[in-house]
Chain A
Amino acid sequence: MTEVSQRPEAVPDNVVGGTPPPRPRRRLGPVPAIVVVVVLAAAPLFLAPFATTTLTRLLVFGLLAVSLDLLVGITGLPSLGHAAYFGAGAYAAGWVSIHLTPAIPVPLLVGAAVGGLAAAATGWVAVRSAGVYFLMLTLAIGEVLAQLAQSWDGVTGGANGLSGIPAARLGSEPLLGVGYLYWYVLAVGVVAFALVWLLARSPFGATLRGIRDNESRMRAIGYSTTLYKYGAFIAAGTIAGVAGSLLAAQQRLVTPGDLGFTTAALVLLAVVVGGAGSLWGPVVGAAVVVLVRDALGPGLGGHGELLLGIVFVLVVYLLPRGAAGLTSLRPFRRRRS
């Protein structure tokens, strides 16, 4: 492997930043981020219920994609089993909501903890492999966990899924309206996104990027790269668990499909569509997938997958660096002109 891919800071990792611009190039600073959050927060006031429901679903899937981007884009570990931790968090949050309490933040914390624990339990073997073998090992882990969800009837409800999850409760008030549920998901999503963003900006994140670009060099200068990768894996699993608990609150149903191959593959492709490594790009990628599959798909007479396939092919050729490639070029062009 050559060192041409050495680019620790060449690609801006985040344009929707939350802190003052460290470089003149990032003149926009936190403004776009604030605008996006304000627009998102105001959305339910103007959107019809189904649009809000779709947007909620999109945020949940988007957060999952962000957590995966921590692995794929920041650390260079393409996981095809990331849905397992999403599902584990969702089952845990759903189970707690049914059997103990749906009061916020209990299901959220339990989902995060279980997602993180599941990642910790399986990640130590996964991070020792790399590339396509990592891809396949995570696929195997994900499929075994999905099968477990399928077989462990007593807890998961088997193939019928864990249904009858009560609405999340804020104090004594259940979040029944689609708008309130949306705001809950948005609030948690923004906080979780900020956490991932801070993690990616931290020295820890810089080390992860170093590992992505040249693992042997990082090892040579004394980093325990396996330990760092393991840490990233657990962090990603924890955030996926948070996304899972939001899924349980939003869908009110968790099934083995939520941690299976299809979900894992779609979220990985969402990261690629959006542009790996940018953190916000994968949210856009997730939006594309959710819009095509859940919002447009049901009305296409069964041709939702065809549209999804066409979108994937087009993105590969027209957006070589995913959606995130668009904005990373913008400052460049402005400076030239």
Chain B
Amino acid sequence: MTGWVAANLISVLNGLAIGALLFVLAVGLSLVFGMMDVLNLAHGALFVVGAYLAAALAGGGPSWGGFLGALGVAAVIGLLAGGLLSAMTEPLRTRSHLDQALLTLGVALIVAEVLQIVFGDDPLAVPAPPGLDGSTSVFGAAYPTYRLVLIGVGAVLAVGVHVLVERTTLGALIRATVADREMVAAIGVDNRRVKIAVFAAGSLLATVAGVLGGPVYGASVGLDSTVLILALVVVVIGGLGSVKGALVGALVIGQIESLGRALLPDLASFVLFGALALVLIVRPRGLFGSRSGAAA
């Protein structure tokens, strides 16, 4: 019995690690959507760009230099990609979400294909940095140290994003834009600059999540769509355009993917989308959903 409890506690812990990673991944998607009403289906491709960067720079063996270098390069690429995506979606601002979906999915297909051409077809692995690549004993069983660190990194980033959005002037602007874009424009703030900033920051978080997720997920063909769907599920469960929603959604999905699969092994293939359907049936706009996102 104690073995059963301990095993499930490990699943809970693991759910936190996965949830932390999902939060970093999904919060950018949620803000970009909530703020500028842009459905960015290239978000998963950005994550995979980060993952492949990690594999290229840190794939040879555990090394702090490679790992931190990958983080830095990924951050820069994320910023640039976000700016580019922001510019690309600018002409579509009066058009429907479906046009944005078409554009960004087209971009995602191109990026995925280019990555496959550059990095080859084989799945690649990313070792955790030295010192974190081992295991720690948790509840009497070995647990990868890197994942424990991931929980901490996720928590720090969550607090950072929360403070930024809830406590700073920029955050106030972001929240105001989520609530009423026309109003913010009316008081003389250039919407486009806010959009570029948020898009760049959101994309940076996605590529950084790719590097951080490297030691857990690796880098492989097809990972982009899996990750994109996970991120969409997270933001929809939490409610679009809300940092709190993204955090809660990430933690819920982390537990569903971990504890849910441990407790319901026979239904493992159904739990993710079953949970999504359930949440949307009970709360049609997610757990913390606002008005935005209701229109297609």
Chain A in direct contact with chain B (Cβ < 8 angstroms): yes
Interface contact B280-A137, CB-CB below 8 Å:
yes
Q: Would you call B243 an interface residue if the criterion is a C-beta within 8 Å of the partner chain's C-beta atoms?
A: no
Q: Would you call A10 an interface residue if the criterion is a C-beta within 8 Å of the partner chain's C-beta atoms?
A: no
> What is the bound-complex CA distance between A310 and B106, given in angstroms?
6
State whether A309 and B113 are in contact (beta carbons under 8 Å apart), knowing that A132-B236, A133-B294, A268-B98 are contacts in the complex: yes
> What is the bound-complex CA distance between A317 and B102, given in angstroms?
11
Q: Would you call A313 an interface residue if the criterion is a C-beta within 8 Å of the partner chain's C-beta atoms?
A: yes
Interface footprint category on B: 35 or more
User: Which residues of the other chain, B, contact A133 by a CB distance below 8 angstroms?
Assistant: 236, 280, 284-286, 289, 293-294
Interface contact A129-B102, CB-CB below 8 Å:
no
User: Which residues of the other chain, B, contact A309 by a CB distance below 8 angstroms?
Assistant: 105-110, 113
In chain A, what residue has the closest Cβ to B103? A316
Size of the A side of the interface (Cβ < 8 Å), in residues, is: 45
Q: How far is the CB of A70 from chain B (nearest CB, A)?
A: 15
Q: Would you call B118 an interface residue if the criterion is a C-beta within 8 Å of the partner chain's C-beta atoms?
A: no
**Of B108, B276, B284, which contacts A128 at CB under 8 A?**
B284
In chain A, what residue has the closest Cβ to B277? A140
Q: Would you call B281 an interface residue if the criterion is a C-beta within 8 Å of the partner chain's C-beta atoms?
A: yes
Q: Would you call B269 an interface residue if the criterion is a C-beta within 8 Å of the partner chain's C-beta atoms?
A: yes
Interface contact B91-A317, CB-CB below 8 Å:
yes
User: Which residues of the other chain, B, contact A77 by a CB distance below 8 angstroms?
Assistant: 296
- Could you say which of A151, A261, A268, A313 has the most chain B C-beta atoms within 10 Å of its C-beta? A313
Contact pattern, A 318-333, Cβ under 8 Å of B = 1, otherwise 0: 0010000000000000
In chain A, what residue has the closest Cβ to B239? A133
State whether A131 and B109 are in contact (beta carbons under 8 Å apart), knowing that A136-B232, A272-B101, A316-B103 are contacts in the complex: no
User: Which residues of the other chain, A, contact B274 by a CB distance below 8 angstroms?
Assistant: 140, 144
Interface contact A129-B110, CB-CB below 8 Å:
no
Question: Do most interface residues of chain B lie in helix, strand or loop, or is the interface mixed?
Answer: helix
Interface contact B113-A144, CB-CB below 8 Å:
no
**Of A72, A272, A305, which contacts B113 at CB under 8 A?**
A305
Interface contact B296-A132, CB-CB below 8 Å:
yes
Interface contact A76-B280, CB-CB below 8 Å:
no
User: Which residues of the other chain, B, contact A78 by a CB distance below 8 angstroms?
Assistant: 97-98, 296
> What is the bound-complex CA distance between A265 and B108, given in angstroms?
13
Question: Do most interface residues of chain A lie in helix, strand or loop, or is the interface mixed?
Answer: helix
Q: How far is the CB of B198 from chain A (nearest CB, A)?
A: 18
Contact pattern, A 107-149, Cβ under 8 Å of B = 1, otherwise 0: 0000000000000000001001111111111011101100100
State whether A141 and B269 are in contact (beta carbons under 8 Å apart), knowing that A135-B296, A311-B106, A315-B102 are contacts in the complex: no
Q: Would you call B35 an interface residue if the criterion is a C-beta within 8 Å of the partner chain's C-beta atoms?
A: no
State whether A140 and B280 are in contact (beta carbons under 8 Å apart), knowing that A305-B112, A309-B106 are contacts in the complex: yes
User: Which residues of the other chain, B, contact A130 by a CB distance below 8 angstroms?
Assistant: 284, 294-296
User: Which residues of the other chain, A, contact B280 by a CB distance below 8 angstroms?
Assistant: 129, 133, 136-137, 140
Q: How far is the CB of A55 from chain B (nearest CB, A)?
A: 24
User: Which residues of the other chain, A, contact B39 by a CB distance below 8 angstroms?
Assistant: 132
Contact pattern, B 260-284, Cβ under 8 Å of A = 1, otherwise 0: 0000000001101110110011001
- Lowest 6 CB-CB distances: which A-B pairs, in order? A312-B106, A309-B109, A306-B113, A309-B110, A313-B106, A140-B277
A-B contact pairs, 18 of them (CB 8 A): A1-B295, A129-B284, A130-B284, A132-B236, A132-B240, A133-B280, A140-B276, A141-B273, A143-B273, A144-B277, A268-B98, A306-B114, A312-B102, A312-B106, A312-B109, A313-B106, A313-B110, A320-B99
- Given A132-B39, A137-B280, A303-B113, 5 further pairs, Cβ under 8 A: A131-B296, A137-B277, A147-B269, A305-B112, A316-B99
Residues of B whose CB lies within 8 Å of any CB of A are: 33, 39, 91-92, 95, 97-99, 101-103, 105-110, 112-114, 225, 229, 232-233, 236, 240, 269-270, 272-274, 276-277, 280-281, 284-286, 289, 293-296
Residues of A whose CB lies within 8 Å of any CB of B are: 1, 72, 76-78, 125, 128-137, 139-141, 143-144, 147, 150-151, 261, 265, 268-269, 271-273, 276, 303, 305-306, 308-313, 315-317, 320
